[in-house]
């Protein structure tokens, strides 16, 4: 009987830990949005396995960054935007909000465009009409968060994440790449300014500024703030596994997209666009794989635009102490994407450029986060370890350095 009691107690603790997971999976949607699809397919179809290493490094940095963000919210009871809102004076705070809002808008635009492209591929729906449909559908998802519970919203997002994973991994499994080619792609190198631009785009699509701002609020809102050090320590420990699990899934999806393009689309004409890549995938791997890919892209656009809108509200609330209902915000932020779709701008080009813009917004979120989580005055006993401080600082330096190289090479012209 004693053994049975101990077994049930152990099982109960495991189940309680399981039900505490979720916030990181919501944040991880930012790492598998349509911008990732555009950047990864472009990288694989144009340069083969050359930039696999960029995704691996970016995903490792994402694990570190998202863990630090979630830990900040749990250890202090405040989100990153709230800390910045309290520490900055009025004018700098408004400028800071403007750049963060611009990043969130670029994210949201990419996600709506990606969803519209998916509807066009699957059902032939015009892009502008598809943008409207994605906007309305994302509103319904946001209703779950605002009128039901965050857990319900998390469950819906996790289901969509599963659909995304199946949609983008299936094609790679049908035509597995050669292991030697994959290993060769792990060697860090570039091949001219275009590959640096693409690497910046991939980095901006993987380490997402709005996800850095959002995760601290997601973890805090889900678990609350406890005055008990022991409770906070337990929640932070569970959150570490939440982040690792979510980002491993997102990383595998991203790498699968690049490997699919490198092994099945390399040298195929027209694969520099999502529509062209979809046509080539359908031709090379069959219509079933093409439809599954389209469904994954649709789920990606729908889930990520909901999370992006949530992030924008978190940024505005923290930096300006101003709250706009999520549904109203959804309507406002839908306008830029619809303008791009209505103007006839090539969707994949718009997606890649939006990801480059995101890469320039990363330091504004990442550097304050590293400073806060590395401060014992802010974090108390939950302050970053020396190893985590070094890893976070190295991530920030790498991102900033890549952007400097990008600007320098672009001004100097192609080499």
Closest CA to 362 of 188, 159, 205, 148: 205
Q: Looking at residue 68, what is its pLDDT? A: 96
Closest CA to 351 of 271, 410, 273: 273
Share of the chain above pLDDT 90, in %: 40
Separation in Å, CA 279 to CA 264, 288, 323: 12, 12, 43
The C-alpha atoms of residue 101 and residue 99 are separated, in whole angstroms, by: 5
Q: Looking at residue 16, what is its pLDDT? A: 52
Count CB atoms within 10 A of the CB of residue 187: 10
Question: Is 213 in contact with 317 (CB distance < 8 Å)?
Answer: no
Q: Give residues with Cβ within 8 angstroms of 396, minimum separation 6.
A: 363, 366, 367, 370
pLDDT, tens digit, 9 for 90 and up, residues 228-268: 999 999 999 999 999 999 999 999 999 999 999 999 888 78
Q: Looking at residue 378, what is its pLDDT? A: 95
Question: Is 14 in contact with 153 (CB distance < 8 Å)?
Answer: no
* Strand ranges (E), 234-350: none
Q: In the chain, which residues have pLDDT < 50?
A: 1-15, 414-415
What is the biggest distance separating any 2 CA atoms in the chain, rounded to whole angstroms? 76
Q: Give residues with Cβ within 8 angstroms of 144, minimum separation 6.
A: 152, 153, 156
Token digits of residue 393: 């600082």
Q: Looking at residue 6, what is its pLDDT? A: 37
Alpha helices in 265-286 (DSSP H): 274-285
Q: Looking at residue 258, what is its pLDDT? A: 93
CATH number of this structure's domain 22-412? 1.20.1740.10
Alpha carbon 272 to chain centroid, angstroms? 22
Q: Looking at residue 41, what is its pLDDT? A: 87
Domain extents in the chain: 22-412
Residue 33 has what DSSP assignment?
Answer: S
Residue 327 burial by CB count (10 A; 0-12/13-18/19+): exposed, middle or buried? middle
The C-alpha atoms of residue 89 and residue 396 are separated, in whole angstroms, by: 24
Question: Is 118 in contact with 298 (CB distance < 8 Å)?
Answer: yes
Q: Whole-structure pTM over 0.75, yes or no?
A: yes
């Amino acid at each position: 009987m004693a053994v049975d009691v101990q077994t049930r107690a152990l099982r109960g603790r495991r189940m309680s830990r399981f039900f505490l997971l979720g916030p990181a999976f919501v944040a991880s949607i930012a790492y598998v949005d349509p911008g990732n699809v555009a950047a990864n397919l472009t990288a694989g179809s144009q340069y083969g396995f050359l930039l696999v290493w960029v995704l691996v490094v970016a995903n490792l940095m994402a694990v570190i960054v998202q863990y630090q963000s979630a830990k900040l919210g749990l250890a202090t009871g405040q989100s990153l935007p709230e800390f910045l809102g309290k520490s900055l004076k009025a004018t700098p705070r408004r400028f800071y909000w403007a750049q963060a809002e611009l990043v969130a808008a670029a994210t949201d635009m990419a996600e709506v465009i990606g969803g519209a492209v998916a509807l066009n591929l699957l059902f032939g729906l015009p892009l502008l009409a598809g943008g409207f449909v994605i906007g309305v559908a994302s509103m319904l998802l946001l209703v779950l968060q605002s009128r039901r519970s965050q857990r319900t919203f998390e469950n819906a997002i996790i289901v969509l994440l599963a659909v995304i994973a199946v949609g983008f991994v299936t094609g790679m499994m049908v035509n597995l790449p050669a292991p030697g080619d994959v290993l060769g792609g792990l060697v860090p190198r570039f091949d001219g300014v275009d590959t640096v631009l693409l690497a910046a785009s991939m980095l901006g699509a993987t380490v997402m500024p709005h996800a850095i701002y959002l995760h601290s609020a997601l973890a805090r809102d889900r678990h609350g703030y406890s005055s008990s050090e022991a409770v906070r320590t337990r929640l932070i420990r569970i959150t570490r596994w939440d982040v690792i699990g979510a980002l491993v899934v997102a990383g595998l999806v991203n790498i699968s997209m690049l490997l699919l393009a490198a092994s099945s689309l390399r040298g195929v004409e027209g694969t520099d666009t999502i529509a062209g890549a979809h046509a080539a995938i359908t031709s090379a791997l069959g219509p079933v794989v093409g439809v599954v890919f389209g469904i994954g892209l649709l789920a990606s656009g729908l889930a990520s635009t909901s999370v992006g809108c949530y992030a924008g509200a978190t940024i505005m609330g923290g930096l300006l102490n101003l709250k706009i209902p999520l549904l109203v915000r959804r309507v406002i932020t839908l306008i830029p994407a619809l303008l791009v779709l209505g103007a006839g701008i090539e969707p994949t080009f718009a997606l890649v450029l939006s990801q480059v813009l995101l890469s320039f917004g990363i330091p504004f979120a990442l550097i304050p986060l590293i400073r806060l989580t590395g401060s014992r005055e802010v974090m108390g006993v939950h302050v970053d370890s020396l190893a985590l401080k070094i890893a976070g600082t190295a991530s920030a330096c790498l991102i900033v350095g890549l952007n400097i190289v990008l600007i320098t090479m672009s001004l100097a012209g192609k080499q």
